[in-house]
Amino acid sequence: MLSWQCLQYEASTVGTREADMKKPVLKKVEGNGVGIQLAMWQGVGKPVLCIHGLTANCRNWDVIADALTPGHFVMAMDLRGRGRSDRPSSGYDIEHHCRDIESLLAELKIPSCALMGHSLGAIIALAYAAGHPEQVEGIVLIDGGGELSEEQKNKVLAGIQHSLDRLGKVFPSFEAYREHMQSTPLLQPWSPAMDNFLAHDLERAPEGVSSSIRLEAIQEELVNLARLDIGSLYAQIQCPALILRAREGMEARDDILLPQDVLDRMLREIPRVQHMDMEKGNHYTIMFQKDGRRDQAIHELLSQSFKAP
């Protein structure tokens, strides 16, 4: 059985810099009967596990992981059905994601860690922290984790439609795929880190390349997510928490993931919670651009979480 200390050593010996950022070590581990791909960045101290959004992958965390290491040992997972993790025919819901996390932490012999989640990943982080308080020492919720009204959900779905539209399509080359993604203002200004995300997302197709994500998996995820009572998780969080909110909308000015009323409820009901608005960037670009304020806030939350009692 692997241990996270062994992975730290491997990362420290293999890790290199690419495009002025640290290159992660990739390793597949078992998660609830499903192979889960991990990206790992060398560092010291207790581990931080990062969980991406609906149609993203582990390389969404390249910029933030680069800022947090070597002060922290950072891991990011490909959720089942995304990136290079296995793609079972079903099981795309919060319960299965939490079981995957529980299994991979056991496989790596990690007794406790901090969780960082973006978008859907923030909801998964909340659910895992609520169900496994002894294993989670702190959570960072990046533009996600809110209980939205039906009207708010519809606005968000319209805002992420460009990301959903790529699923199931075949592009003649990586360059054509990148051009499609660059065509939306949502991903501007373009960051070199986005190329890493796109490359990790692709697989070969008979006529070129396509996203590795099946549209049916995402549709199942959305149906199951609509049934989840996210707000019921808030009062169960026992560890320090940080909410980072993007203030810029996607397709419209008001299609943000954490509207003010939603944020206010989180701040009222999650114990030991802090909050910071990120004035520059939308739901997507806040993950791919360098931001000293964001990184400092995360550093402070992790230091608070891992402080000896």
User: What kind and span of H or E run contains 264?
Assistant: helix 260-269
User: Quick one: average pLDDT of 261-271?
Assistant: 98
Percent of the chain with pLDDT over 90: 79
pLDDT for 148 beyond 80: yes
**CATH class (in words) of the domain with range 4-303:** alpha beta
pLDDT of residue 8: 43
pLDDT band of residue 292 (cuts 50, 70, 90) is: very high
Percent of the chain with pLDDT over 70: 93
pLDDT of residue 254: 79
User: Quick one: average pLDDT of 165-169?
Assistant: 93
pLDDT of residue 30: 86
pLDDT of residue 308: 47
pLDDT of residue 149: 94
pLDDT band of residue 20 (cuts 50, 70, 90) is: confident
pLDDT band of residue 13 (cuts 50, 70, 90) is: very low
User: What is residue 106's three-state secondary structure?
Assistant: helix
pLDDT of residue 73: 96
Q: Are the CB atoms for 53 and 118 separated by under 8 Å?
A: yes
pLDDT for 55 beyond 50: yes
pLDDT of residue 32: 85
* Residue located via tokens 């968000």: 156
pLDDT of residue 210: 96
- The DSSP code sequence of 144-202 is ------HHHHHHHHHHTHHHHHTTT-EESSHHHHHHHHHTSGGG-S--HHHHHHHHHHE
pLDDT band of residue 10 (cuts 50, 70, 90) is: very low
pLDDT for 155 beyond 50: yes
pLDDT of residue 255: 85
User: Quick one: average pLDDT of 41-63?
Assistant: 95
Q: What is the mean pLDDT of the chain?
A: 91
pLDDT band of residue 5 (cuts 50, 70, 90) is: very low
* 125 vs 307, more confident: 125
> Per residue in 81-97, pLDDT tens?
999 999 999 999 999 99
pLDDT of residue 14: 34
Reading the block at residue 56, the tokens are: 């993203």
Reading the block at residue 285, the tokens are: 């670009």
pLDDT for 9 beyond 80: no
The pairing of beta strand 47-51 with beta strand 136-142? unpaired
pLDDT of residue 251: 78
* CA-wise closest residue to 168 among 201, 190, 120: 201
User: Quick one: average pLDDT of 279-298?
Assistant: 94
